[in-house]
Amino acid sequence: WKGERGAKSLAKWRSTAREAGKQARRVHLPEVTELMTTRQVAGMVAKAQFAGVLHEAAEEPIATAVLPEDGDLLLVVGPEGGVAPEELAVFAEAGARAYRLGPTVLRTSTAGVSAASVLMDRSGRWG
Cβ–Cβ < 8 Å for 67, 118: no
What is residue 127's predicted lDDT score, i.e. its pLDDT?
63
CATH superfamily to which 36-122 belongs: SPOUT methyltransferase, trefoil knot domain (3.40.1280.10)
In tens, the pLDDT along 67-80 reads 998 889 999 999 88
| Residues pairing with 76 in the sheet | 53
* Domain map (residue ranges) of the chain: 1-34, 36-122
Cβ–Cβ < 8 Å for 38, 87: yes
The set of residues, in sequence order, having a beta carbon less than 8 Å from that of 12 and lying 6+ positions away, is none
Identity at 126, one-letter amino acid code: W
Q: Is residue 1 pLDDT above 70, yes or no?
A: no
